[in-house]
Structure 1
């Protein structure tokens, strides 16, 4: 199936508006354990079900993947990828760094993305070849040229089974970054990490994970804002990549070099998705 993603932006925006209203007005409710220090609230499930039902009516020909309940529809190549509440731990603690992330994936590549951060009153949107916007205004990545003046966001550390083993590469990477960059930040939301690279609020983001619901929207927003988005080995990023690295283009070579140095200090093959 081939479709111009721009034609679906109004539908996607209505979907995330439904989600944002639930996030703003509904209490977390019962918390369901998904694993060690990994959880979902009633809001996670309520958002996913409401968005899925809306999109099934508006775009029945497009598949749907949600973080909490998995694939509910399949299609020929096109699929919505939804994180109903990215930053659940933040939400539970009353931190405003959370929101909904909705992307459209076309055969392993995102072509449309919306990230809505209701408590920050920020909405990021992008469609392929149309640029990226924040609250309707065009955005672009920073012009930072060297790591010493860069703020770099890291994805969360791993929790759950074999967390200690899975965190070795994350800790090695943190150590290398601490010695080279201006500041390290950890916001606890993959969507925010990628959106803020796009918006020039931070200069780079490194996540040693790549779940489609976490990254689909953010990757296309970052790319359309001028960021370079790559996998761990420096190859172009796709939904089947191991990791998600987004940065101002002028920082990419130095970041790849830094990551290579960290790989010499830890086994970067032990990758698994952390919880955000």
Structure 2
């Protein structure tokens, strides 16, 4: 199996070119539908509301088509289509629209997630917000954001007490009742808690704007790209026991080890 440490500089450059080609294609597709009148969604969850739109499906199809041309040897794990096996030991992990509820609402907090993983976890990630025009990139020695104000290096916040920290999550009703209670223990100690940001919260953490993101019930395609970006920016992402988070589940992303440890202790009760 290929390990990212064994990849040549030329291969790493090729992987970045591929990742940006995917993000460019995703921008074209999603912006055709964002804030379009009459956009509807199908519900994938009979017990709740898990929407999927034509934009989700067309976006992933466009990215898969590019991978078939540029990196046919790689595996693909995406939200909207079946997994595709590969022979290279590398897997592209795609979430065509993370935050479809926001997309439907016209709120620009959704994003396109493009991750690259090997057997050891995330190695490259892009969190792209097409409407704002921001692209957060991390992996292979790169940690940067390009957007309306230019290109800047990503760096997470230095350590400070949880009582001075900003905490984000997507939904107030996080996970199970026990998960919710654990989250509330952290929220009660934080200076500020905000909701509803989807993947954009992870981008803000990598950019040094906030300190913590805590979520539950994630899939691999929800976290692989943000994990790579945050780690490249100097942050830490684990599950709620301090273990690996690249498979999803209950995830905590932190700007630094100190605030991670303080929050992790509260999650454990």
Question: Normalized against structure 2, the TM-score is what?
Answer: 0.87
Q: Is the 8 A contact 2:137 2:229 kept in 1?
A: yes
User: What is the aligned counterpart of 2:268 among 256, 260, 267?
Assistant: 260
Residues 40 and 147 from structure 1, CA distance in 2 versus in 1: closer, same or farther, beyond 3 angstroms? same
Q: Is the 8 A contact 1:209 1:242 kept in 2?
A: yes
Q: Distance in 1 between matches of 2:82 and 2:252?
A: 25
Q: How does 1:1-276 map to 2 (within 5 A)?
A: 1-2=2-3, 3-4=7-8, 5-26=12-33, 27=36, 29-35=39-45, 36-128=48-140, 130-135=141-146, 136-156=151-171, 166-189=175-198, 191-235=199-243, 237-240=244-247, 242-249=249-256, 250-261=258-269
> How far apart are 1:230 and its partner, in Å?
1.5
Residues 122 and 44 from structure 1, CA distance in 2 versus in 1: closer, same or farther, beyond 3 angstroms? same
> How far apart are 1:115 and its partner, in Å?
1.0
Q: Is the 8 A contact 1:65 1:80 kept in 2?
A: yes
RMSD: 1.9
- Structure number with the bigger relative contact order (C-alpha 8 A, sep ≥ 6) is 1
Residues 153 and 34 from structure 1, CA distance in 2 versus in 1: closer, same or farther, beyond 3 angstroms? same
Gap runs ≥5 in structure 2: none
Q: Distance in 2 between matches of 1:108 and 1:89?
A: 31
Question: Normalized against structure 1, the TM-score is what?
Answer: 0.85
User: What are the superposed Cα offsets for residues 68-104 of structure 1, whole Å, 9 maximum, x if unpaired?
Assistant: 1131343342110000001100010111111100000
User: What are the superposed Cα offsets for residues 175-198 of structure 1, whole Å, 9 maximum, x if unpaired?
Assistant: 213320011112341x22222111
> How far apart are 1:34 and its partner, in Å?
0.2
Question: How many residues get paired?
Answer: 252
